[in-house]
Amino acid sequence: MKKIITWFLIADGARARLFKNEGPGKGIQAVFEDEFIGNFLPTRDLVSDRPGRTFDSNGPGRHSMSAPSDAHRMAKKDFARQVVGILENGNVFDRLVIVAPAKALGDIRSVLSKGSQEKITGEITKDLTNISINDLPKHLSQLNIVI
């Protein structure tokens, strides 16, 4: 009988950890020794202090141009894309559980491949990035996955 490998992605907008379980009674082990750390800079440090300037198309007037998007949100979406790229690189899991706050969960879902989306067996909308590996099973027990 083939063992079922479950990966747990524990993430927020700027930090992520990957854990695995290789069957009932095997516990949880870290897939990588270190956590993934994204950009912790606030928006004010990601963009210039003042908006760009443009000339009026009709006359000598000048106007400021505001950025069409939030650089901080873009950094979090880029981080989600990088983490999912690492997650899907080996594609060595049978089931996937994602634990992340709502916005980060949405960012992760939006960049997951169809194959990885089909392997999702549970999601928890919560930030557990600061929880120790020993306390994770207690938080994951609501998913009814035997660890």
Instruction: Say which CATH number the domain at 100 has.
Output: 3.30.420.60
pLDDT of residue 143: 79
pLDDT of residue 33: 80
Q: Does residue 64 lie in a domain region?
A: no
Q: Does residue 116 lie in a domain region?
A: yes
pLDDT of residue 54: 62
DSSP letter string, the chain: -PPPPEEEEEE-SSEEEEEEE-STT---EESSSSPEE-----HHHHS-SS-EEEE-SSSS-EEEE--SS-HHHHHHHHHHHHHHHHHHHH---SEEEEEE-HHHHHHHHHHS-HHHHHTEEEEEES--TTS-TTTHHHHHGGG----
pLDDT in tens, 8-57: 999 998 999 999 999 888 889 999 887 778 766 666 665 655 666 666 56
Q: Does residue 50 lie in a domain region?
A: no
Q: Does residue 138 lie in a domain region?
A: yes
pLDDT in tens, 82-121: 999 999 987 789 999 999 999 999 999 999 999 999 999 9
Q: Does residue 77 lie in a domain region?
A: yes
pLDDT of residue 50: 61
Q: Does residue 125 lie in a domain region?
A: yes
pLDDT of residue 145: 72
Look up the domain containing 19 and give its range.
6-40+69-143
Could you tell me the pTM of the whole model? 0.79
Q: Closest by alpha carbon to 38, among 97, 104, 123, 99?
A: 104
pLDDT in tens, 48-84: 556 666 665 666 666 565 555 677 788 889 999 999 9
How many domains are there within the chain?
1
Question: Do residues 93 and 7 make contact, with C-beta atoms less than 8 angstroms apart?
Answer: yes
pLDDT of residue 80: 93
Q: Does residue 78 lie in a domain region?
A: yes
Q: Does residue 52 lie in a domain region?
A: no
